[in-house]
Amino acid sequence: MISQETINEAHDRIRSFIHRTPVLTCQTINDRAGADLYFKCENFQKIGAFKARGGLNAVLQVAHNQEGSAITTHSSGNHAQAVAFAARQVGMPAYIVMPGTAPQVKKDAVRGYGAEVIECEPTLEAREQGVRDVITRTGAVLVHPFDDDRVIAGQATAAKELIEDYGQETPFDVILAPVGGGGLLSGTALSAHYFSPQTRVVAGEPDGAADAVLSFQSGRVEKAPFVNTIADGLLTNLSERTLAIIRDHVSAILTVSDEEIIAAMRLIWERMKIIIEPSCAVPLAVVLKYRDQFTGQKVGIILTGGNVDLGKLPF
Amino acid sequence: MISQETINEAHDRIRSFIHRTPVLTCQTINDRAGADLYFKCENFQKIGAFKARGGLNAVLQVAHNQEGSAITTHSSGNHAQAVAFAARQVGMPAYIVMPGTAPQVKKDAVRGYGAEVIECEPTLEAREQGVRDVITRTGAVLVHPFDDDRVIAGQATAAKELIEDYGQETPFDVILAPVGGGGLLSGTALSAHYFSPQTRVVAGEPDGAADAVLSFQSGRVEKAPFVNTIADGLLTNLSERTLAIIRDHVSAILTVSDEEIIAAMRLIWERMKIIIEPSCAVPLAVVLKYRDQFTGQKVGIILTGGNVDLGKLPF
Q: Are residue A122 and residue A217 in the same domain, yes or no?
A: no
Q: Are residue B15 and residue B92 in the same domain, yes or no?
A: no
Q: Are residue A134 and residue A197 in the same domain, yes or no?
A: no
Question: Minimal Cα–Cα distance from A296 to chain B, Å?
Answer: 24
Q: Are residue A301 and residue A277 in the same domain, yes or no?
A: yes
Half-sphere exposure of B156 (CA within 13 A, CB side): 34
> Which structural domain range is residue B101 located in?
51-142
* Beta-carbon pairs below 8 A across chains A and B: 38
Which residues in chain A are contacts of B273 at CB distance < 8 A? 43-44, 48, 274-276, 306
* B118 phi and psi angles, rounded to 5 deg: -110, 110
pLDDT band at B124 (very low <50, low <70, confident <90, very high): confident
Q: State the best of B273, B274, B277, B313 to mutate against chain A, taking most chain A CBs within 10 Å.
A: B273
The B residues from 133 to 162 touching A (CB cutoff 8 Å) are: none
Residue A8's pLDDT is what?
Answer: 98
Q: Are residue B195 and residue B57 in the same domain, yes or no?
A: no
Q: Mind listing the pLDDT tens digit for each residue in B266-302?
A: 999 999 999 999 999 999 999 999 999 999 999 999 9
**Per-residue pLDDT in tens (0 to 9) along chain A, 315 residues:** 899 999 999 999 999 999 999 999 999 999 999 999 999 999 999 999 999 999 999 999 999 999 999 999 998 789 999 999 999 999 999 999 998 988 787 888 899 999 999 999 988 899 999 999 999 999 999 999 999 999 999 999 999 999 999 999 999 999 999 999 999 999 999 999 999 999 999 999 999 999 999 999 999 999 999 999 999 889 999 999 999 999 999 999 999 999 999 999 999 999 999 999 999 999 999 999 999 999 999 999 999 999 988 888 998
Q: Are residue B9 and residue B118 in the same domain, yes or no?
A: no
Residue A101's pLDDT is what?
Answer: 86
B213 located within any domain: yes
pTM higher than 0.90 for the full model? Answer: yes
8 Å CB contact between B122 and B100: yes
d(CA A79, CA A85): 10
Q: Are residue B166 and residue B187 in the same domain, yes or no?
A: yes
Q: Are residue B38 and residue B182 in the same domain, yes or no?
A: yes
CATH of the domain at B24: 3.40.50.1100
B183 located within any domain: yes
Give the strands of the sheet with A174-178, arranged side by side: A23-24, A36-41, A298-303, A174-178, A200-206, A252-256
Ranges assigned E (strand) in chain A: 23-24, 36-41, 71-74, 94-99, 116-120, 141-142, 174-178, 200-206, 252-256, 298-303
Q: What is the DSSP letter of A223?
A: P
Question: Is the confidence at residue B76, as pLDDT, over 80?
Answer: no
* Cβ neighbours, 10 Å, residue B304: 31
Any A CB within 8 A of B32 CB: no
Check B310 against A310: CB less than 8 A apart: no
d(CA B243, CA A216): 66
Q: Which of A86, A121, A142 is the last residue of a domain?
A: A142
pLDDT band at B309 (very low <50, low <70, confident <90, very high): confident
Q: Are residue B172 and residue B157 in the same domain, yes or no?
A: yes
Check A313 against B311: CB less than 8 A apart: no
Q: Are residue A119 and residue A212 in the same domain, yes or no?
A: no
The helix/strand/coil state of B158 is helix
Q: Are residue B242 and residue B258 in the same domain, yes or no?
A: yes
d(CA A4, CA A111): 35
Question: Minimal Cα–Cα distance from A149 to chain B, Å?
Answer: 29
Report how many helices (DSSP H) and strands (DSSP E) chain B contains, helices first: 12, 10
d(CA A127, CA A120): 6
Kindly state the average pLDDT of the residues B138-152. Answer: 97
Any B CB within 8 A of A273 CB: yes
Which one of A73-87, B120-134, B146-160 scores highest in mean pLDDT?
B146-160
Question: Is the confidence at residue B75, as pLDDT, over 90?
Answer: no
Q: Which of A96, A123, A142 is the last residue of a domain?
A: A142
Check B266 against A44: CB less than 8 A apart: no
3-state helix, strand, coil in chain B (%, to 5): 50, 15, 30
Q: Are residue A203 and residue A138 in the same domain, yes or no?
A: no
Residue B121's pLDDT is what?
Answer: 94
Question: Is the confidence at residue B105, as pLDDT, over 80?
Answer: no
Residue B104's pLDDT is what?
Answer: 82
Q: Mind listing the pLDDT tens digit for each residue in A293-302?
A: 999 999 999 9
Q: Mind listing the pLDDT tens digit for each residue in B9-39?
A: 999 999 999 999 999 999 999 999 999 999 9
Any B CB within 8 A of A170 CB: no
